[in-house]
Amino acid sequence: MCLRADCAESNKPIAKPDCKRFGYLTAAKGGFFFTVGRWGVRLPKRSFMTNSSSLASHDILTKRFSGRVQFAHHFLPCPKIRHVLFDFDGTLSLIREGWPEVMLPMFEEMLPPTSGDEPAGVRAMLLDDIMTLNGRQTIFQMMKFAERVAERGGVPLHPLEYKHEYLRRLEVRIQSRVNRLSGDAANPVEFLLYGSIALLDGLVARGWSLYLGSGTDEPNVKHEAELLGLDGYFGEHIYGAQDDYKSFSKKQVIERILRENQVDGDRLMVIGDGYVEIEDGKNAGGLAVAVASDEANNGAGRFDEWKRKRLLGVGADIVIPDYRDSDVLLDVIEGK
Ligand SMILES: [Mg+2]
């Protein structure tokens, strides 16, 4: 969600590794590059789509849906699609619903104050940072926060320390959900975005290959996918964050899908509620279905407006709140 903040996990050394000034900013091709200690964060320019005439230009398609949908003006059917990469949290799984309500207060609590701070402004800044990096591995949100601490003259902890504390707090929130699912006290559908199973079944019926990529640590993703009964849909193709954060990214997963199947991006569809997968999918030449899910009100069929606007802004082709119209959605994507 929000502006793209694409960390420079790539390969490039940080521009000025000896720079002792935190928050060092340099203009770079396509955006800006921040350094925080030895951590680098690349922030490409915001790209907001200003043309919101998609509803008008795709009115006929829209009317086929019983629930809400929005087509970007550039949407075209993609009958060649055979590979589908899903994000996990907020896209299929709701086990971690409410995670920003854990991360944001933690950051507010740990951020050094400065004179002139207004709580609402600080909160908005931190939330934008958090949601900007939604879809990437959690460590990147912690790296960005460390940068904020340093900007204010504080001495940031190592991002891993922030991550461990965040996960400790999140665990408190979600443990009862995991326990209920583990003990069969909860129906998995309770923690699946509305219509998920119908969508997955529709994809399997078409013979398309499914992949799961998440910024959550891989062992947790695999465990939670199993609890939700999703492991059978994805088999070996479940990928998540690694201890060595440079060894995983959704971009890498996409490149691997295309390489191993020897196909171009027009065979790929990405479905997610985060900036990262939408942008990476589009950059690879694929179709991007943005899920502007209102996680706290699953089944209500409403857009999360923040996600809707931001995901359209980074090039999503279609935006839906959930999968209540999965059959129509897949037909439209195929050009039927
Ligand atoms: Mg997500």
Centre of ligand 1 from the C-alpha of residue 100, in Å: 11
Q: Which pLDDT belongs to residue 243?
A: 86
Indicate left, alpha or beta for 183 from its phi (over 0: left) and psi (-120 to 50: alpha): alpha
Give the per-residue SS3 of 240-264.
EECCCHHHCCHHHHHHHHHHHHCCC
Annotate 20-62 with DSSP letters as a single string.
-STTEEEEETTEEEEEETTEEEEEEPP------THHHHTHHHH
Centre of ligand 1 from the C-alpha of residue 274, in Å: 5
Q: In the chain, pLDDT over 90 holds for what percent of residues? A: 77
CA dist., res. 86 & res. 276, Å (int) = 12
User: What does the pLDDT average to over 98-105?
Assistant: 96
Centre of ligand 1 from the C-alpha of residue 35, in Å: 26
> Can you list the domains of the chain with their CATH numbers?
52-96+187-334 (3.40.50.1000)
Q: Report residue 26 as tokens.
A: 């340099």
Strands 209-217 and 268-272: unpaired
User: pTM surpassing 0.75?
Assistant: yes
Centre of ligand 1 from the C-alpha of residue 304, in Å: 13
Centre of ligand 1 from the C-alpha of residue 87, in Å: 6
Is residue 4's pLDDT more than 50? no
Strands 39-44 and 31-36: antiparallel
Q: Which pLDDT belongs to residue 57?
A: 64
Q: Report residue 221 as tokens.
A: 């993703």
Q: Which residues contact 31 (CB under 8 A, 6 or more apart)?
A: 6, 42, 43, 44, 45
Centre of ligand 1 from the C-alpha of residue 38, in Å: 27
Alpha-carbon dihedral 238, 315, 268, 138, rounded to 10 degrees? -10
Sheet of 24-28, strand order: 6-7, 39-44, 31-36, 24-28
pLDDT band at 58 (very low <50, low <70, confident <90, very high): confident
Centre of ligand 1 from the C-alpha of residue 197, in Å: 17
Q: Which pLDDT belongs to residue 55?
A: 53
Specify whether the CB–CB gap between 299 and 194 falls below 8 A: yes
Q: Which pLDDT belongs to residue 1?
A: 33
Alpha-carbon dihedral 198, 2, 332, 57, rounded to 10 degrees? 150
Centre of ligand 1 from the C-alpha of residue 15, in Å: 30
User: What does the pLDDT average to over 285-309?
Assistant: 96
Instruction: For residue 211, give the 3-state DSSP assignment.
Output: strand
Centre of ligand 1 from the C-alpha of residue 276, in Å: 9
Comparing 57-66, 119-128, 188-197, 258-267, which segment has the lowest mean pLDDT?
A: 57-66
Q: Which pLDDT belongs to residue 134?
A: 87
Q: Which pLDDT belongs to residue 56?
A: 55
pLDDT per residue as tens digits for the range 219-253: 999 999 999 999 999 999 999 999 888 889 999 99
Centre of ligand 1 from the C-alpha of residue 17, in Å: 32
Is residue 295's pLDDT more than 50? yes
